[in-house]
Structure 1
Amino acid sequence: MSATHKLTAIEIDNASLPAATAEIEHERRVAIFDLVEQNRFVPEGAAGGPYALKLSSQDNRLAFEITGPDFSRTHVLSLTPMKTVIRDYGLICESYYEALRGSSPSQIESVDMGRRGLHNEGAALLKARLEGKVEMDQETARRLFTLVCALYRRG
């Protein structure tokens, strides 16, 4: 597998996605940085990258516009099958940050275990939704799920 099968740029179409507060915008930037920093991203039918990814919302669906050398494809996914895990992940993240402010280490660890479990579940679901379109490893799926959650988080 070529080492060039990776994302090197990610753009967000802010006009088509929910409005972001400064905090949410920061979360999006961090998620993009982490994803670009380390990933394995192999679009079906692509000879090699690197790739750029533009994320936007089209008719209440998430559009993945992937471009690379001699390659361009857009995949549009309904996030309906993922709504529950995205919502639950957002709620448990809020609980985790609240726990950090005043709970015992064992309570923090317990909430963190639940948070990691939901994160893994969301990543696996996103990976399955992109099956046959984009191949990625588990860590890339986790980072991409983080970004998707940041895109749909409401302020």
Structure 2
Amino acid sequence: MTTASKSSNSRLSAVSLDKSIGSPSDPILKREQAVTISDLLENNSFAPVGHNGGPYLLELEILDKKLVLSVTTESGEHVLCHHLSLTSFRQLLKDYRIVCESYIDAQLRLTPERLEAIDMGRRAIHDEASALLRERFKSRVEIDQDTARRLFTLISLLVARNSFGRGPAT
């Protein structure tokens, strides 16, 4: 999926997710992906270290259990390709997916207070994962907390899609 946004130097104007594994078949996941990309493109801070030629196009894919982050300018100039091991994210990705699934399952049967408690747990995991993502990217690209949160959501969706039919998304 590719979506475009308004221009600025230190920001993303488009995001593409690995097309080789297809788009999510689950309507809830499909909507989550679309909303996350839309929110990301609406408001983000993305500055590859040592480069001022944005806005940038970002492609995310999972290859050999690593996140591959490919960045180009809108004119097609290669900016960076970064491979990030997902090992340190394994438990966070697993916990995040479990909490998200619990929230979806609980929507019709729990009180708003209980749903809020589940959502607070999701946000805590999300915050921890986005802080780790910022730390792992800092030598290659500077991102703010909100951008990191949305990127983590996209990574979790990619991992889940990539793992479909091959066991848990970890």
Select 1:43's aligned residue among 35, 45, 48. Answer: 48
| Aligned counterpart, 1:127 | 134
> CA separation in 2, counterparts of 1:88 and 1:42?
29
> CA separation in 2, counterparts of 1:125 and 1:107?
28
CA RMSD in angstroms comes to 2.0
SS in 2 for 1:65: strand
Residues 60-139 of structure 1: pairs in structure 2 closer than 5 A: 60-68=65-73, 70-139=77-146
> CA separation in 2, counterparts of 1:102 and 1:148?
29
Greater displacement, 131-140 / 66-75: 66-75
Instruction: Identify the structure with bigger relative contact order (alpha carbons < 8 Å, sequence gap 6+).
Output: 1
SS in 2 for 1:153: helix
TM-score where L is the length of structure 2: 0.81
Q: CA deviation at 1:58?
A: 2.5
SS in 1 for 2:40: helix
> CA separation in 2, counterparts of 1:105 and 1:22?
25
Q: State the aligned residue count.
A: 153
Q: Structure 2, unaligned stretches of length 5 or more?
A: 1-7, 165-170
Q: Is 2:144 aligned against 1:140?
A: no
Q: Structure 1, unaligned stretches of length 5 or more?
A: none
